[in-house]
Amino acid sequence: MVIKVLFFDTSALLKMFVEENGTPNVKWLTSPDTKVSKSLHFVMNQQVCSEFAAKVEHFAKIGKISEERADRIRRIFTHYYKVSYFRVIGQGIVSNTKSEISIDAITEDLTLIRGKNDWDGLIFQSIVNALAFMGPNPILVTCDGPFGRKVSSKGYRVINPEKQSLDEIRAAIV
């Protein structure tokens, strides 16, 4: 059985903890049963970890979640998901057969705008450099439609838990 690598960005990861559109799909996808039965390996990078923490803080500040819930989410994420359930990867190259792609090249290639959406470049850089040894096999899990379309246009598979049905997600990880 082939292991499938799913790279989660912040928009999808948040749905594990905060009830939003797409939450049921993310919870199914990240459940231990699905992870094992579908041979899934979950990854994210430090950029996602930082964005996640900032977003949880923001949700507590605006009252979307209570401060107690935010503390619980941070604890569970930091002490379990970040160290055991997901693998945190970097941006550097992990391939002997491919050249490392710089963040400047990625920003230009994806037509990202500095200060607006260029942080997405760090996510894509992890996919193409740190997961380069896997070829086009890594799957991006994102609820950011424009970013997902850009990554898809580069030949990578994308799962959007907000837009896709559970059947479509199942088909994507076969």
What is the average pLDDT across 50-72?
A: 96
What share of the chain in percent tops pLDDT 70? 87
User: Containing H/E element for 115?
Assistant: none
- Pull the structure tokens for residue 129: 């450099």
Query: Treating both helix axes as pointing N-terminal to C-terminal, what angle do 67-76 and 46-61 enclose, rounded to 10 degrees?
Result: 160
Mean pLDDT comparison of 90-94, 110-114, 144-148, highest-scoring range: 144-148
Could you tell me which residue, 71 or 113, shows the higher pLDDT?
Answer: 71
Tell me the pTM. 0.84
Q: On the CB side of 109, how many CA atoms lie within 13 Å of its CA?
A: 17
Domain that holds residue 90: 4-172
Give tens-digit pLDDT for 117-169.
767 777 777 777 666 655 557 899 999 999 899 889 888 899 999 999 999 99
Query: Distance between CA atoms of 51 and 14, rounded to whole angstroms?
Result: 10
pLDDT digits (tens, 9 = 90+) for 6-47: 989 999 999 999 999 999 999 999 999 999 999 998 999 888
CATH assignment at residue 19: 3.40.50.1010
Go through the chain and tell me how many residues it has: 174
Name the E strands within the chain.
Answer: 4-8, 40-45, 86-89, 139-141, 157-159
Calculate mean pLDDT across residues 50-79: 96
| Angle (CA) 103 46 110, round 5° | 30
Domain count, the chain: 1
- What is the structure's pLDDT at 89? 80
**What are 53's two structure tokens?**
């923490």
Question: What is the rounded CA–CA span in Å between residue 159 and residue 145?
Answer: 10
CB atoms within 10 A of CB 21: 11
Identify which of 124, 145, 146, 144 has the alpha carbon closest to the alpha carbon of residue 136: 124
Strands across the sheet with 139-141, in order? 86-89, 40-45, 4-8, 139-141, 157-159
